Structures are given as structure tokens and as C-alpha cells.
Copies of this chain bind each other. A is one copy, B any other.
């Protein structure tokens, strides 16, 4: 059966942007092979100061990711007696512990706990994407259901192909529910009620619907999806990587906490950036340019638009942009 095809993530280096092509075999499935390669890629991109963005797209002609390998989800469960929500909660906690103490993983292969451990690892990979200074863009060349949709929600931006495609969470129709973050990230992306209704019904969004409610950021013809995603990756990736990381953590994590707790996260992240070398340099540069011209650079006509293109205020508002004029 096609589900046994080994999944693969092909990575192409395009300067500051990596393009990762998801090859889930002829059926376009997301299984543990892809999950493991994704985890390695996220770590690599996060650590490498020269990588500012990653664009994901599918190799299937009409699908980004069909959905998860169903056997992956089903197999372990078959060996375990049905547990209540408290038992499942304990199982999920144990799985988290196992992942933290890496050495135990080989011992657990093929035990009933195994799928819970793998599920937990996918969650950790997606969380690392949310914490990272890398901009992740899903270039949805076609449809994405289940874990394919959840992986899309874990990206920072989404571009979707126009046409007879769909994106959503059909799990309720299989007697289960989203397990890769769908109930949490879709809820925070499009609001509690829209998310609840979509997940309870199991009905996916068309590209136009997804765009209207903000589930995707742009819809373009299929042959322009990758180019548009690259454009966004380069544009957002041109900002300081440390700022991007701090902003993502403050919004994704702080923004989901109580207002008081979220503000504390912001203060800590703000101080990290304000005390950083690049933050100090750019603030001093901005003040010097302001003093030289007598006006705040961002309020000089035309300057803000330029700065949005370059991604930095370095040298902004000086009459000449030659190196000798700038404070580095």
C-alpha cells in the first residue's frame, strides 16, 4: 500500500531562504519520516544566522499534504485499552517526559506509548517553529487536510493556490479530532467560534473562504504560489532575526496568556532586543540621523516606505546612503 512509501523533505538553498519540498509519496501523506526531517530542518534554520526564512511546498501536483498517515495514528492505539481523558492526559504527560530524556526513545519503539511519543514530538517541532527567528511560509500548491492543515497553521504565513482545492480539519468525520495543534492554532488564527464550527463540522475551506477569514494570507494562481511565498519570505526575512524571534514569542505565547502574564513576556523579550548589539547600534544610528536632519527619520517623506523595503532604519533619512555616512 502507498502509505508505506518513505516520505522525504527535499531542501534547496536560495540564499537567506530555504525551500523545502514535501514529498509524501503518490498519496501525499505526512508520516513520521517527514516529521523527523522537519525537526532537523527547523533546528538547522534556527541556528544558522544566514537562514532567515523557510518556504514549504508539496511535490504532489494537486496537494500540499493530503493528511497524516492514518496508520501512524491508529496503530499504537489498537494495542491499548480505551482510556478516559484522565488516562490520555497522563499518557500525553509521560510522552513529554520521554522526549525530554531522549535516550529512552529507542526502548519504546513499538510499545503502546510510541504513537503518543511521536505525536508529542510533532507538537514540539511546531512549537519550535513558533519560537524561532526564522519566518516559515507555507506555499500551499494544493489541498491540505488534517495534519497538513495543522502544519500550515504552524507556519507564520500561508499562500494558497486558487482552484478546486481545500484546507481544513476533517478528523471529526473519522470519529477522532485534530491532534497536531489544529484546535489551538486555528482557534487563535480565525477566532474561537469559526474554528469550533469548522472543526465540529469537518468541512474544509475553499481558497476564497480561507482568505476571507484570514486562514491564509494570499491566494494566487497555482503556478505563482512558490514565487509569492518566496517574495513574502524575503520581505519578512529581511528584518533582524533576533527581533523576529522575540516578536513571535511575545505574540504567539504571551498573546495567548492572561494580559498581565503576556505583558511580562513582552517586557522580557523587549529588554533582550533593546540590550542586543544590533538593537543598540540601530537606536544610536536612528538618533544620530535624527539629530543630523532635525527630524525623526520615519517622519521624513518617503523614508518609511524605503525602510519597509530594506527591513532596517540603518542610515535612514540621511541625504546620502554611502557607507561613510552611516554608523555601523
A residues apposed to B, CB below 8 Å = 1-3, 27, 63, 66-67, 70-71, 73-74, 77-78, 80-85, 88-89, 91-93, 95, 115-116, 119-120, 123, 127, 130, 135, 143, 145, 156-157, 166, 170-179, 181-185, 187-189, 191-197, 199-204, 214, 217, 235-236, 239-240, 242-244, 246-264, 266-284, 286-287, 290-291, 294-296, 298-299, 304, 307-308, 311-313
List B contacts of A84 (CB < 8 A): 272
Please measure, in the bound complex, the distance between the C-alpha atom of A183 and the C-alpha atom of B81, giving whole angstroms: 41
Please measure, in the bound complex, the distance between the C-alpha atom of A184 and the C-alpha atom of B78, giving whole angstroms: 40
Given A201-B308, A266-B179: A254 and B173 interface contact (C-beta under 8 Å): no
Given A247-B183, A276-B82, A279-B77: A259 and B188 interface contact (C-beta under 8 Å): yes
Complex: chain B residue closest to A281, CB-CB: B175
Instruction: Name 12 interchain pairs, CB-CB below 8 A, sorted by A.
Output: A2-B294, A77-B271, A88-B270, A115-B274, A145-B298, A173-B307, A174-B312, A178-B247, A183-B262, A187-B262, A192-B252, A201-B308
Given A171-B243, A239-B173, A251-B196: A266 and B183 interface contact (C-beta under 8 Å): yes
A135–B200 CB distance below 8 A: yes
Tell me, rounded to whole Å, the shortest Cβ–Cβ distance linking A286 to chain B. 6
Tell me, rounded to whole Å, the shortest Cβ–Cβ distance linking A58 to chain B. 13
B263–A184 CB distance below 8 A: yes
B217–A197 CB distance below 8 A: yes
Tell me, rounded to whole Å, the shortest Cβ–Cβ distance linking A59 to chain B. 16
A298–B267 CB distance below 8 A: no
B82–A196 CB distance below 8 A: no
B88–A123 CB distance below 8 A: no
Please measure, in the bound complex, the distance between the C-alpha atom of A85 and the C-alpha atom of B73, giving whole angstroms: 37
List B contacts of A252 (CB < 8 A): 192, 196, 259
Tell me, rounded to whole Å, the shortest Cβ–Cβ distance linking A137 to chain B. 12
B74–A280 CB distance below 8 A: yes
List B contacts of A244 (CB < 8 A): 172, 200
A88–B272 CB distance below 8 A: yes
List B contacts of A276 (CB < 8 A): 82, 175-176
List B contacts of A182 (CB < 8 A): 266
A271–B92 CB distance below 8 A: yes
